[in-house]
Every structure is written in structure tokens, then in C-alpha cells.
């Protein structure tokens, strides 16, 4: 039993035999043709929101709410997040998707945003970087933006302003990497 692997919802990064299994996403392709069609659609889909967030109100979201023209907030307290088409629509229409800590470090939303071609904004490395070494590339700068959560809480960084400064070419390259390199392996 000392050499066995444990497949868990939350892993302890220092436990080498703990393997974190990603959350299921809303996208369930039937075959490779479905994946290819989705990749083409995601590559050309118009992104009307700079930032999107689906969840409960936290410090990161307060900045989103304040930037109403560039950030779309979907409040999950009212049950809207139970509607797959609403959440997926938000992620497909957004360049960046906020992924703050919730009840636990990991978020299903990270994977839903990735399969929708939305660049995840990670605030704590335990949300994705340390949890999924088998499923997500180690070079996280290619597929996500990291903003340290403590700097947001202390008011040292404006999340929307920081994301606004990411050049369009860099966003496009990140999205291309997500859609063509990461997404097929996740689904």
C-alpha cells in the first residue's frame, strides 16, 4: 500500500502518490469531429467581455462589479450557475475568467473556462498549478494569468486594469494554446 496511488478530489502536493482528478466539464464530445468543430468555433467566437466570473461575491468580484462595462459577474447565489448554458455562455463570451478560492482551493470553473477557451485568472497556486500536474502544463504562463490573492485583498492590484494591459496578441496566443493543446486532453 505504500506504493499505491490515491485519486482524490483535493490532493496534498507534498504527497507524491496523491493524484488530483479534474472536475468534469460541461462539454462532452462524442468523437474527434466534435472536438475539432468546437476548436474552430472557440478560435473565432467573439469575446464581448474582457472579464467574466461565475460565483459568490468576494474581494476579486467586487472589482469586477465596479468595472461593469468590462467585467460580467454571474451571481451563483441565485441559482443561475446551475444552468449549463448560462455559465458556458459567460465563459465563451469572456477573454479572462476569474478563479478565486471558493469553499476549497480547487474550482470546477477552471476546467469549464478552459474548454470554453477563456483564459483562467488564478489567485492561489493551489487552485490549479499544484493540483493537476498530470492534466495541466507546468508552464502556466502559457495558459493562465496569476495574480496573488493577498495583493488583491490589500488593494495593491486592480484585477481588471491588470488584465486590460495584457496585449491582444498575447491573449490570442494563450487562447490558441488552450484550445488546441489543453482542451482536447481535458475532454
Instruction: Please give the CATH topology (third level) of the domain spanning 26-186.
Output: Rossmann fold (3.40.50)
Point out which residues pair with 94 in neighbouring strands.
Answer: 49
Containing H/E element for 109? helix 108-115
Q: What's the mean per-residue pLDDT of the chain?
A: 84
Q: What is the pLDDT of residue 106?
A: 72
- Global pTM reads 0.86
Nearest to 110 by CA among 83, 145, 152: 145
Measure the CA–CA gap between 42 and 35, rounded to whole angstroms. 10
Measure the CA–CA gap between 114 and 41, rounded to whole angstroms. 14
Q: What is the pLDDT of residues 91-148, one digit of tens each?
A: 999 999 999 887 677 777 888 899 999 999 999 887 887 777 777 888 999 999 999 9
Q: What is the pLDDT of residue 64?
A: 73
Domain boundaries, the chain: 26-186
Amino acid at each position: 500500500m505504500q506504493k499505491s496511488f490515491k485519486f482524490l478530489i483535493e490532493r496534498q502536493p507534498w504527497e507524491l502518490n496523491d493524484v488530483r482528478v479534474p472536475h468534469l466539464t460541461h462539454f462532452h464530445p462524442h468523437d474527434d469531429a466534435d472536438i475539432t468543430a468546437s476548436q474552430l468555433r472557440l478560435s473565432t467566437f467573439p469575446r464581448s467581455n474582457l472579464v467574466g466570473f461565475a460565483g459568490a461575491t468576494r474581494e476579486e468580484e467586487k472589482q469586477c462589479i465596479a468595472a461593469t462595462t468590462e467585467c460580467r459577474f454571474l451571481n451563483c447565489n441565485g441559482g443561475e450557475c446551475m444552468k449549463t448554458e448560462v455559465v458556458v455562455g459567460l465563459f465563451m463570451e469572456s477573454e479572462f475568467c476569474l478563479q478565486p478560492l471558493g469553499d476549497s482551493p480547487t474550482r470546477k470553473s477552471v476546467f469549464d473556462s478552459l474548454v470554453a477557451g477563456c483564459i483562467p485568472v488564478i489567485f492561489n497556486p493551489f487552485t490549479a498549478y499544484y493540483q493537476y500536474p498530470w492534466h495541466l502544463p507546468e508552464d502556466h504562463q502559457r495558459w493562465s494569468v496569476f495574480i496573488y490573492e493577498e495583493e488583491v485583498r490589500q488593494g495593491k492590484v486592480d484585477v481588471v486594469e491588470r488584465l486590460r494591459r495584457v496585449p491582444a496578441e498575447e491573449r490570442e496566443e494563450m487562447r490558441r494554446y488552450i484550445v488546441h493543446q489543453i482542451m482536447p486532453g481535458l475532454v
